[in-house]
């Protein structure tokens, strides 16, 4: 019987989906799911959900719950990490927005601060795993995903893969654009997390790119407010027209990685690419109250469902985690996209970096697929980000503020907006605002 640990289980929506995904496979229902979070109240809530789900459907799943990380990890076979150290809206994100670098968990500036918070804790988790469950797989969902996985590969011996839902979600979006059922499309995707490229996109085995190009001759297809869950999909639409390949993640996230769209003091450009009036509410302070209301309403509904007679359905999400565990346990093969060390997988991207590539999964393990060269124009966009990611990762592990400053200068978006002096000032402000997490930096 396998032991599956979820660290950061207090994140209700994500943990709820992961738990439901696991028990959706009959072969995984007799295992142990150990839920761990440092915050007891949300942990108790998701534990109550898990127990109710298992009881309602008569499964034999054993549910454990603890705030003690080492207790949870002891004897684990799979460790799913979904943590957000510090939680909430970071002070660093406000400073980034002040300098025209509005961004989320993975982009420049505040994404660096997110890494400063996350990477040391995740490396501590890995050291515990090396001691308590050395043969376990780390299934890592926390952001900034690329720099975290790069650090785990370079500084630990833990078997790992970085997971993100941007590839399957984008595949579903592309199917919607061309009017195809999702189960009739296939694809081959590679690059870096949140900026990977659909090198092939097919409908019933035939190249669907000509149809997508035809659809995108009408800008309304991708620029209307309902085009994508994040609003208009203009950035990706323009990237597709310009560089020839469609990329993963939402348009407002793509714009964090590139120098073309978020021009400081250029409201005309922000409006052109629909990055100011249409954006994810989490990225706009003025919409924080709206997001808070939605979150509170969802939390209230979840509590009522747990305490009432609501029967939780067994439905699968598009997350890869449970599918990987199922394949490793049963030997039934699967293909997913994962974030792994670049050991010659993509030949024209930095070797040793973290890349997102197709992976085959079976009882013998997770096997990243050889991709070869990316088209040079998209490889160049990826490579520019990798240099910044690698340097900031070293700066975090080595506690070297100067490396983090230099990494900020290398970031394509920061370089397009700020001078050297402005970048240095911003980094200083970020360090002052996040001093709690920056002890020991030189």
> Which one is predicted more confidently, 99 or 129?
129
| Token pair recorded at residue 185 | 């499309």
222 membership: H or E segment, kind and range: helix 220-223
pLDDT digits 0-9 by tens, 412-440: 999 999 999 999 999 999 899 888 888 89
pLDDT at 283 over 60: no
**Do the beta carbons of residue 4 and residue 66 sit within 8 Å?**
no
Pick the CATH number of 3-89+103-162 from 3.70.10.10, 3.30.70.580, 3.30.1300.10, 3.40.50.720: 3.40.50.720
pLDDT at 103 over 70: no
* pLDDT-derived band at 106, boundaries 50, 70, 90: low
pLDDT at 284 over 90: no
pLDDT at 275 over 90: no
Q: What number of other Cβ atoms are within 10 A of residue 176's Cβ?
A: 12
pLDDT at 286 over 50: no
The mean per-residue pLDDT over the stretch 352-367 comes to 98
The mean per-residue pLDDT over the stretch 273-301 comes to 64
- Give the per-residue pLDDT at 89: 58
Cite the beta strand spans of 8-73 per DSSP E: 32-36, 62-66
* pLDDT-derived band at 13, boundaries 50, 70, 90: confident
pLDDT at 49 over 90: yes
**Do the beta carbons of residue 82 and residue 141 sit within 8 Å?**
yes
Kindly list the distances between the CA atom of residue 197 and the CA atoms of 123, 171, 367, in Å, as whole numbers in the listed order. 29, 11, 20
Helices (H), 331-398: 376-398
Give residue limits of the domains in the chain: 3-89+103-162, 166-279
- Give the per-residue pLDDT at 11: 84
At 402 the three-state DSSP class reads helix
Kindly list the distances between the CA atom of residue 226 and the CA atoms of 31, 134, 219, 231, 317, in Å, as whole numbers in the listed order. 41, 46, 13, 6, 22
- Give the per-residue pLDDT at 276: 67
- Give the per-residue pLDDT at 87: 72
pLDDT at 278 over 50: no
Q: What number of other Cβ atoms are within 10 A of residue 116's Cβ?
A: 24
The mean per-residue pLDDT over the stretch 301-309 comes to 93
| Token pair recorded at residue 124 | 């501590």
CA atoms within 13 A on the CB side of 58: 0
What is the distance between the alpha carbons of residues 276 and 236, in angstroms, rounded to a whole number? Answer: 16
430 membership: H or E segment, kind and range: helix 420-433
- Give the per-residue pLDDT at 157: 98
Residue found under tokens 């990685």: 257
The mean per-residue pLDDT over the stretch 332-336 comes to 98
What is the distance between the alpha carbons of residues 120 and 133, in angstroms, rounded to a whole number? Answer: 19
* pLDDT-derived band at 105, boundaries 50, 70, 90: low
> Which one is predicted more confidently, 103 or 36?
36
> Which one is predicted more confidently, 335 or 262?
335
The mean per-residue pLDDT over the stretch 182-188 comes to 97
Largest Cα separation within the chain, whole Å, is 62
The mean per-residue pLDDT over the stretch 284-294 comes to 59
Global model pTM greater than 0.85: yes
Q: List Cβ neighbours of 230 (8 Å cut-off, separation of 6 or more).
A: 250, 251, 252, 253, 278, 279, 280
Residue 231 has what DSSP assignment? B
pLDDT digits 0-9 by tens, 190-244: 999 999 999 999 999 999 999 999 999 999 999 999 899 888 999 999 999 999 9
* pLDDT-derived band at 361, boundaries 50, 70, 90: very high
pLDDT at 137 over 50: yes
* pLDDT-derived band at 288, boundaries 50, 70, 90: low
| pLDDT winner (highest mean) among 87-96, 325-334, 404-413 | 325-334
59 membership: H or E segment, kind and range: none
> Which one is predicted more confidently, 91 or 95?
95
Mean pLDDT value across the chain: 92
* pLDDT-derived band at 107, boundaries 50, 70, 90: low
What is the distance between the alpha carbons of residues 344 and 348, in angstroms, rounded to a whole number? Answer: 9
Q: Which value, to the nearest 10 degrees, does the dihedral of the CA atoms of residues 80, 121, 296, 72 take?
A: 50
Q: What is the secondary structure of 158-212 as a DSSP string? A: -EEEE--SHHHHHHHHHHHHHT--GGGEEEEEEEETTEEEEEEEEETTEE-HHHH
CA 157 to chain centre: 22
What is the distance between the alpha carbons of residues 281 and 296, in angstroms, rounded to a whole number? Answer: 14
Q: What number of other Cβ atoms are within 10 A of residue 382's Cβ?
A: 24
- Give the per-residue pLDDT at 280: 43
The mean per-residue pLDDT over the stretch 65-76 comes to 98
- Give the per-residue pLDDT at 352: 98
Helix and strand numbers (H, E) in the chain are: 18, 12
- Give the per-residue pLDDT at 12: 81
- Give the per-residue pLDDT at 279: 43
> What percentage of residues in the chain have a pLDDT greater than 70?
94
The mean per-residue pLDDT over the stretch 321-330 comes to 98
Q: What number of other Cβ atoms are within 10 A of residue 212's Cβ?
A: 18
- Give the per-residue pLDDT at 46: 97
**Do the beta carbons of residue 262 and residue 275 sit within 8 Å?**
yes
* Catalytic (active site) residue 228: no
Q: What are phi and psi of 188, to 5 degrees?
A: -135, 115
**Do the beta carbons of residue 162 and residue 138 sit within 8 Å?**
no
* pLDDT-derived band at 282, boundaries 50, 70, 90: very low
**Selected catalytic residue, list 12, 165, 194, 228:** 165
């Amino acid at each position: 019987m396998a032991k599956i640990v979820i660290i950061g289980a207090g994140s209700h929506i994500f943990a709820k989906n992961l738990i439901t995904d696991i028990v959706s496979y009959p072969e995984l229902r007799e295992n142990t799911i150990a839920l761990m979070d440092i915050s007891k109240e949300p942990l108790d809530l998701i534990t109550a959900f898990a127990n109710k789900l298992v009881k309602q459907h008569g499964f034999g799943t054993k549910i454990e719950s603890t705030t003690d990380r080492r207790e949870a990890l002891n004897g684990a076979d799979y460790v799913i990490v979904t943590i957000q150290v510090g939680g909430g809206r970071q002070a660093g994100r406000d400073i980034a927005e002040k300098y025209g670098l509005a961004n989320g968990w993975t982009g420049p500036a505040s994404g660096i601060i997110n890494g400063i918070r996350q990477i040391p804790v995740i490396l501590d988790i890995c050291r515990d795993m090396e001691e308590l469950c050395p043969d376990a797989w780390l299934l890592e969902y926390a952001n900034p995903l690329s720099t975290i996985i790069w650090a785990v590969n370079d500084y630990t011996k833990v078997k790992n893969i970085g997971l993100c839902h941007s590839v399957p979600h984008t595949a579903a979006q592309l199917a919607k654009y061309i009017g195809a059922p999702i189960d009739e499309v296939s694809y081959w995707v590679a690059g870096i997390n949140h900026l990977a490229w659909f090198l092939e996109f097919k409908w019933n085995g035939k190249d669907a790119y000509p149809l997508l190009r035809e659809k995108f001759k009408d800008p309304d297809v991708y620029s209307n407010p309902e085009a994508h869950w994040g609003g208009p999909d203009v950035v990706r639409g323009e990237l597709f027209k310009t560089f020839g390949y469609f990329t993963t993640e939402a348009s407002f996230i793509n714009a964090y990685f590139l120098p073309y769209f978020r021009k400081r003091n250029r409201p005309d450009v922000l409006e052109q690419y629909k990055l100011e009036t249409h954006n994810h509410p989490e990225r706009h302070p003025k919409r924080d109250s709206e997001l808070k209301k939605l979150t509170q309403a969802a939390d209230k509904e979840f509590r009522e469902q747990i305490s009432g007679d609501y029967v939780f359905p067994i439905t699968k999400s598009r997350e890869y985690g449970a599918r990987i565990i199922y394949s490793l346990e049963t030997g039934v093969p699967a293909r997913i996209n994962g974030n792994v060390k670049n050991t010659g997988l993509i030949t024209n991207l930095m070797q040793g970096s973290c890349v997102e590539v197709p992976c085959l999964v079976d009882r013998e393990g997770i096997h990243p697929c050889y991709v070869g060269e990316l088209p040079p124009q998209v490889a160049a966009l990826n490579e520019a980000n990798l240099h910044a990611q690698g340097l900031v990762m070293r700066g975090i592990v080595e506690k070297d503020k100067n490396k983090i400053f230099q990494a900020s200068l290398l970031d394509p978006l920061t370089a397009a907006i700020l001078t050297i002096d402005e970048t240095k000032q911003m980094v200083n402000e970020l360090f002052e605002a996040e001093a709690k997490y920056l002890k020991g930096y030189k």
